[in-house]
């Protein structure tokens, strides 16, 4: 009888979820994945909240294969807070079919972002060969103005618009992360603010020291061209590359202030890269402890798994789980938190 009643309950629930429109059509709206968002839990600290961002995204308005509004829907579903539309200025292989100026892809994405509460930043990619390479200009007002022959003039125009400029994939296309004189000059002039330590499926270990050396912030971005699900299986625990920004609130002004203050960390393939101070504060905010006799209970409230070693001892603190361990004495090496090439955060409970 109990099994029969359970069956009736499930059948009634199924019928209710089906939302019958009439005798001929049953609607199953709950199966529509576009209304579901996977939340990424990464705590803030010092009164700042953590914004999950992707500052390098392409659409059909340059060499991508996805409409701008779909880029917003993808990012919202996957738990991001901010994206930047950064279509190429110089490379637009679909321009005979997709006829528009350089601002149109942002305008379309911004309307969709406003509908779902996702922040969309206006940007563009200045696309030249090495030694200059590719640079993203964010927070611009008019991408059309940067469509000029001289790339340094394009950078000057972006700078005059108040742009935040990122040096993209420094190891591409020759697999050499070379720091050229032109980059030093642009950094000295305040015209390069950040660089991609992680891009798409690549990392550039030789660049990991550039934050300390040159004062430019490391970032992780997808540089996505096709549908996001074709490149990243976000259900397997390995999230798409993202830049974590620690902002006072969820506004464009607060985002830009945080970027200019370099309150960022690059996050990809389970690794975090950036300033030691922000690494330590994020780990501290993620791991909550209490003593149980002589043992320590550690609860990881974040969606980032932390791996630590002390001598031969290995401590794993899985995302969203609680672990009971013997209390470590002294400092532990956080293997997946880097503040330079081969330089790991030291953390003490």
Residues 14-26 pLDDT 10s: 444 556 577 788 8
Give pLDDT tens digits for 285-302. 999 999 999 999 999 999
Question: Rounded to whole angstroms, how far apart are CA atoms 123 and 102?
Answer: 10
Instruction: Give pLDDT, residue 349.
Output: 94
Task: Note if the pTM is more than 0.85.
Answer: yes
Give pLDDT tens digits for 74-127. 999 999 999 999 999 998 888 888 889 999 999 999 999 999 999 999 999 999
- Delineate the domains of the chain, giving CATH numbers in brackets: 37-274 (3.20.20.140), 285-347 (no CATH)
Instruction: Give pLDDT, residue 286.
Output: 98
List the alpha helices (DSSP H) in 31-175: 68-77, 104-116, 151-160
Instruction: Give pLDDT, residue 173.
Output: 94
String of DSSP letters for 268-336? ETTEEEE-HHHHHHHHHHHEEEEEETTEEEEEE-SSS-EEEEETTEEEEE-TT-EEEEEPPPS-EEEEE
Question: Rounded to whole angstroms, how far apart are CA atoms 52 and 243?
Answer: 6
Q: What is the DSSP letter of 240?
A: P
For the segment 28-54, the average pLDDT, to the nearest whole number, is 91
């Amino acid at each position: 009888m109990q099994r029969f009643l359970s069956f009736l309950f499930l059948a009634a629930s199924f019928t209710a979820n089906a939302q019958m429109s009439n005798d001929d059509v049953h609607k199953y709206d709950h199966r529509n994945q576009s209304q579901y968002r996977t939340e990424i839990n990464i705590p803030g600290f010092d009164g700042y909240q953590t914004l999950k961002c992707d500052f390098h995204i392409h659409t059909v308005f340059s060499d991508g294969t996805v409409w701008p509004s779909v880029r917003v829907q993808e990012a919202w579903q996957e738990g991001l807070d901010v994206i930047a539309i950064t279509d190429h200025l110089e490379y637009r292989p679909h321009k005979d079919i997709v006829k528009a100026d350089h601002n149109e892809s942002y305008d379309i994405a911004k309307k969709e972002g406003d509908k779902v509460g996702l922040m969309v930043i206006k940007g563009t990619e200045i696309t030249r060969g090495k030694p200059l390479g590719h640079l993203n200009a964010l927070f611009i007002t008019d991408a059309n103005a940067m469509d000029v022959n001289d790339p340094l003039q394009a950078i000057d125009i972006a700078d005059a618009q108040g742009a935040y400029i990122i040096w993209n994939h420094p190891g591409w296309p020759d697999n050499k992360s070379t720091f050229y004189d032109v980059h030093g000059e642009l950094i000295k002039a305040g015209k390069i603010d950040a660089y991609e330590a992680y891009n798409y499926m690549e990392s550039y270990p030789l660049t990991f020291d550039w934050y300390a050396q040159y004062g430019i912030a490391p970032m992780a971005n997808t540089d996505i061209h096709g549908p996001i699900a074709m490149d990243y299986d976000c259900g397997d625990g390995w999230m798409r590359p993202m830049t974590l920004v620690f902002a006072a609130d969820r506004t464009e002004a607060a985002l830009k202030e945080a970027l200019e203050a370099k309150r960022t960390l690059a996050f990809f393939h389970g690794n975090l890269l950036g300033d030691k101070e922000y690494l330590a504060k994020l780990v501290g905010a993620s791991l909550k402890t209490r003593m149980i006799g002589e043992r320590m209970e550690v609860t990881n409230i974040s969606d980032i798994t932390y791996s630590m070693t002390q001598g031969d001892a290995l401590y794993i603190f899985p995302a969203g789980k609680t672990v009971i361990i013997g209390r470590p004495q002294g400092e532990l090496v956080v293997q997946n938190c880097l503040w330079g090439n081969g330089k790991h955060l030291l953390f003490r409970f």
